[in-house]
Amino acid sequence: MRTRLHLKPGQKGTKQLPAQYGDRLVCMRYRYDAQRKKRVKTVELIVAECAWEPPAPRFADDVIVAVRVGLSEREMQQRVKQATGKWNRRRQVWELRYDQVVGLTLQARIVAEHASNHSYHG
In a domain, 51, yes or no: no
Measured between alpha carbons, how far is 65 from 55 in angstroms, rounded to an integer? 19
pLDDT digits (tens, 9 = 90+) for 61-119: 999 999 999 999 999 999 999 999 999 999 999 999 999 999 999 999 999 865 555 55
- The residue type found at 60 is A
- Cβ(96)–Cβ(113) below 8 Å: no
Within a domain: 70: yes
Q: What is the pLDDT of residue 15?
A: 83
Query: Could you tell me the sign of the dihedral formed by the alpha carbons of 105, 111, 113, 115, in that order?
Result: negative
State whether 37 and 81 are in the same domain: no
From the list 71, 62, 69, 65, the residue with the least C-alpha distance to 112 is 65
Q: Which domain holds residue 37?
A: 2-45
Residues 77 and 109 in one domain: yes
Q: Is the CB of residue 1 less than 8 Å from the CB of residue 33?
A: yes
Return the DSSP state at 107: G
Quote the number of domains for the chain.
2
Q: Are residues 73 and 35 in the same domain?
A: no
